[in-house]
Chains A and B, each alone.
Chain A
Amino acid sequence: MSLSASTLGKLRHIVGAKGLLTAHLDLASYSFDGTSNWQGMPEVVVFPTTTEQVSQILKLATKQGIPVTPRGAGSNVSGGSVPVSGGIVLCTTRMNKIIDIDTANFTVTTEVGVVLNDLNQALTRHNLFFPPDPQSFLTATIGGCVSENAGGPYAVKYGVFKHYILGMIAVLPTGAILTLGGNTVKNVTGYDLPQLLCGSEGTLAVITQVTLRLLPLPPARQTVLAIFNDMVTAGKAVHRVLSEGIVPAKMELMDNWVIRRIEEVTPLGLPLEAETIILFELDGIPEAVGRETEGVINICQQEGAMEARAAHDAKEAENFWAARRAGFSAIFGNTPIALAEDVTVPPSQLPEMIDRIQKIAKKYDVTIVTLGHAGDGNLHPCVLTDEKNAEHYGRAEKAVHDIFSTALDLGGAISGEHGIGLGKKQFLKQAMSPEAIDLLRGIKKVFDPKGILNPGKIWEEA
């Protein structure tokens, strides 16, 4: 379809002349997300600055049947914010005010275009802590994180976005503005609609404001580096740390391939011979952090770590974590295509999952590099391949298939934190029963009868 001049005029009237983009080259930069293989060109990008404007845009879109793809920074890695149906990209990045930091009640109310890192910096000044930490936090917006139900290394101890959502303002495709939830931790008032919208990938409503729960900043932190000469042993050590009653704030895993690539780009002093590195962060009151640090080091040594030690100082700790953040880029920057997966298994199954991934790599003769959030069982096995080599690409796809089946076999999920979007919708049938998928479709219909919001995502059309 192609938007009429009158429709564009109406949109311009709503958001102002500087609030929309229509030039081809500008639209082009909104035709992709953080993945390498999905693309779709929008016809217009609008930048509303108020909930009222969002409402007017959606009302117009519903009336005229124009697809609307909500987008924050577009740093997602599922294809979820790619406007494959054309139409309007509704970009929330200019709704970027932090409305209220409530230090007495440990909550923050913010517009959704605020960048997660900016929110964190503002909170740190008040000694407050918002744990969910997708590794795109430098760029990702709060709205995107809520819509994808994002999480990161802190999930093992602190959970993911959905565990912090107290309330929100959201706009239905009809233009109706809803105030949902509230600002209390306990709230059992009807169906939990904020939880339903969280992780709905922009398919049900456009969230414009959220109220999030906060914690006090932990007074002490310590990073521990443990080096193993095989990944399955590392997985066992992770599991034993948890079963001995230590819950580190983070437990991150990187394999040898990732370590080498990181060292090539930014030498941080990571040991190149290490098959696997596990980075732990312990946080809390200093005494507890001290004892848990000792505990983790002992367990790793007993489980056969080549080396396990605390970071010398804050600087070294930051270097280790910077290396971990660079992990994905290290992979993507060194291969034509990486099929980066996001499978999750119960933590006790981690060693088994790692073992089976290694067998899958052998079976299909492909390189699979792995990094991930070992503590919560969320792994990112990445199959390295090249679209131009059809035969190799075919084997890589089969390997991905097997990885998904294995994760489900072990009682896990096909996506831990990236969402389904476009990337995994063909696998949804494996993970959910037909009745459950029908339920998703039915819910979508109630919220969005004309199907204008982020069409074509999550499930395949029947």
Chain B
Amino acid sequence: MSQLLSLDEASRCMKCGFCMSSCPVYTVDHIESHVARGRNVLIRWASNSTIPLDGAYGERLSYCLLCGRCEAVCPAKVPSAAITVAARTDLVSKRGLSWLQRFVYRGILKHRNLMARLLGLASLVPGVSVKDGKPLRHLADSVSIFTKGLSIPRLSRPFLSTRLPSRMAPPKGVPVRGQVAIFPGCAFEFFFADMGEKIAFALTEAGFEVVYPQGLTCCGLAVRSAGDLTTAQLMAQHNIEILSHFDHIVTGCATCSSAMKDYGKWFPENDEWQQRASSLSAKVSDLSEFLVGEGFQPKPTEPITVTYHDPCHLKWRQAISDEPRRLLGSIEGLKYVEMEGADQCCGLGGAFGITHREVSLAIQAKKMQSIRKTGAQIVVTACPGCLIQLRDGARRHDLPVEVMHISQLIRGQREPPRKPRSAGDGEEQSPHPKSAP
């Protein structure tokens, strides 16, 4: 597979060290091989064979959350996160994947049906899924031995694809403005289906017919970030095939939107897929970006104090930070308090949160301190990954806050009549009917 970004880019780093001021990893462990400046030198050395492409090198490449903060502060605008991904890709192409990576990326993430079946089975185990609002905590927690103590969310029962009709029209009285496809990603499909429903609902309230396309797979970012470009491209192609005929694709997952907006860069210049990928990328929006653009007005709420955590994949990858705040600010009754360092990483960074648990926890601890200082009742974010890490942190630090996805606070002005709750519903009552009105 041809290299998309030349590793020579690393030599544009002139070692000023500005990245060291903002790197979430370096600012907790102070190890220079873990920050862009040090890593760029290693990447340079590896590409001219001064150092071998071995496990030790791979380990240094793994110490990056790919948050992109270093790129924002870099005066020479060196794309250090992208260079790190390119270096991982280069390493994988020469040394291959570990059996675990192969299993997860090529065996599971790529095959949504298999994933659904496996997780579906898992969800039958009492306590592993959220069904009746009273899950057996210890059983779900026992899974966390595989995640070095990171509390993983319970599975939703049923999954989002079963909850949503394939088409939902806007409620009566709301003029129809168009059609959107929602991209649920793995998180809203399997773990946060209740939030997935609320995303769909908000979009109908904004006047859009919402389509839940069948057969989508994972966005592929985790696979791409780990350096398995070939598999990631296959996943992107799969999603592009399904989504290309829609005008708007909206997701509530900062990671998925950052990946899909980047699809164009996943294929080489002359590749036949490059054009298709780029045109798809141009149609992808983050939920808040889309809603603010459409002038969506959320419904008032009872008085609550809320703070917001910027997902790196939203702020540093997509330059979206005003939109979620504007959306929250437009909710009557909601008191917004800005936290110190709202745009500091939560420390999860996908697999990083498990493979480099100690550093991840140190980054998380800083975030918890900022949240605590605000005195907010609710901390809102726009990324399921951050949500998992923030919930884990709130529990670990005994923080009296509720961690929510932004979709959980933005109800539309016109709520459709509620249907009596059916047995298969999630922890919170679904606010919209199961079929198109």
Contact = CB atoms under 8 A, between A and B. Distances in A.
Contact of B76 (A75, A117, A138, A332): A332
A329 B16 contact: yes
B41 A34 contact: no
B434 interface: no
Nearest to B20: A139
B353 to A, nearest CB: 20
A161 interface: no
A28 interface: yes
Interface stretch (A17-25, A98-106, A202-210, A249-257): A17-25
Given A25-B57, A29-B32, A330 B75 contact: yes
Interface in A1-52: 21, 23-26, 28-30, 32-36, 47
Contacts of A426: none
B330 to A, nearest CB: 24
B73 interface: yes
Given A29-B38, A329-B76, A332-B14, A138 B21 contact: yes
A32 B41 contact: yes
A140 B18 CA distance: 9
Given A265-B77, A330-B75, A26 B16 contact: no
Contacts of A140: 17
A26 B33 contact: yes
B145 interface: no
Nearest to A266: B77
A333 B17 contact: no
A235 B12 CA distance: 32
A93 interface: yes
A28 B45 contact: yes
Contacts of A32: 15, 41
Nearest to A265: B77
Contacts of B77: 265-266
A93 B28 CA distance: 10
Interface in B11-62: 12, 14-18, 20-22, 30-33, 37-39, 41-42, 45, 51, 56-57, 60
Contacts of A24: 51, 56
A75 B32 contact: no
B75 A91 contact: no
Classify chain B's interface size.
Answer: 20 to 34
Nearest to B45: A28
A74 B73 CA distance: 18
A91 B56 contact: no
Interface in A42-99: 47, 73-75, 91, 93-94
Contact of B41 (A28, A73, A138): A28
Contacts of A330: 75-76
Interface in A321-338: 325-326, 328-330, 332-333
Given A29-B33, A32-B15, A34-B15, A333 B20 contact: no
Contacts of A329: 14, 16, 18, 74-76
A407 to B, nearest CB: 24
A372 B31 CA distance: 32
Contact of B51 (A25, A36, A75, A265): A25
B75 A265 contact: yes
A265 B75 CA distance: 8
B18 A36 contact: no
Contacts of B42: 25, 28-29
A115 interface: yes
Interface in A246-301: 265-266
A136 interface: yes
Nearest to B51: A25
B15 A28 contact: no
Nearest to A76: B17
B220 to A, nearest CB: 29
A386 B131 CA distance: 67
Nearest to A23: B56
B21 A139 contact: yes
A242 to B, nearest CB: 29
Nearest to A332: B14
Interface centre among A26, A74, A140, A329 (most CB of B within 10 A): A329
A327 to B, nearest CB: 8
B17 A74 contact: yes
Given A28-B45, A265-B77, A36 B14 contact: yes
Contact of A29 (B14, B41, B76): B41
A115 B21 contact: yes
Interface in B63-113: 73-78
Nearest to B78: A333
Contact of B30 (A35, A93, A328, A332): A93
A94 B31 CA distance: 10
A41 B333 CA distance: 60
B15 A36 contact: yes
B75 A25 contact: no
A94 B28 CA distance: 9
A47 B28 CA distance: 13
A326 B17 contact: no
A36 B11 CA distance: 10
Given A28-B41, A74-B17, A325-B75, A91 B30 contact: yes
Given A26-B33, A93-B30, A332-B76, A33 B15 contact: yes
Contacts of A30: 32
B293 to A, nearest CB: 24
A333 B21 contact: no
Contacts of A23: 56
Nearest to B18: A138
Nearest to A94: B30
A389 to B, nearest CB: 17
Contacts of A74: 17, 32
B144 to A, nearest CB: 24
Nearest to B37: A29
A139 B57 contact: no
Contacts of B39: 29
A139 B16 contact: yes
B17 A28 contact: no
B75 A28 contact: no
A337 B76 CA distance: 15
Contacts of A93: 30
A75 B75 CA distance: 14
Interface in B280-323: none
A29 B39 CA distance: 8
B45 A138 contact: no
A143 B77 CA distance: 28
A35 B38 CA distance: 13
A25 B18 CA distance: 21
A25 B56 contact: yes
Contact of A138 (B51, B57, B73, B78): B73
B30 A47 contact: yes
A328 B45 CA distance: 24
A258 to B, nearest CB: 12
Contacts of A333: 12, 14, 75-76, 78
28 contacts: A23-B56, A24-B51, A25-B60, A26-B33, A26-B60, A28-B38, A28-B45, A29-B31, A29-B41, A32-B41, A34-B15, A36-B15, A73-B20, A75-B17, A75-B20, A136-B18, A138-B17, A138-B73, A139-B17, A139-B18, A139-B21, A265-B76, A325-B75, A326-B75, A329-B75, A330-B75, A332-B16, A332-B76
Interface of A: 21, 23-26, 28-30, 32-36, 47, 73-75, 91, 93-94, 115, 117, 136, 138-140, 265-266, 325-326, 328-330, 332-333
Interface of B: 12, 14-18, 20-22, 30-33, 37-39, 41-42, 45, 51, 56-57, 60, 73-78
Given A34-B15, A139-B16, 6 more contacts: A29-B32, A32-B15, A33-B15, A34-B17, A139-B20, A140-B17
The 10 closest A-B pairs by CB, nearest first: A29-B38, A329-B75, A332-B14, A333-B76, A29-B32, A138-B21, A326-B75, A75-B17, A139-B17, A29-B33
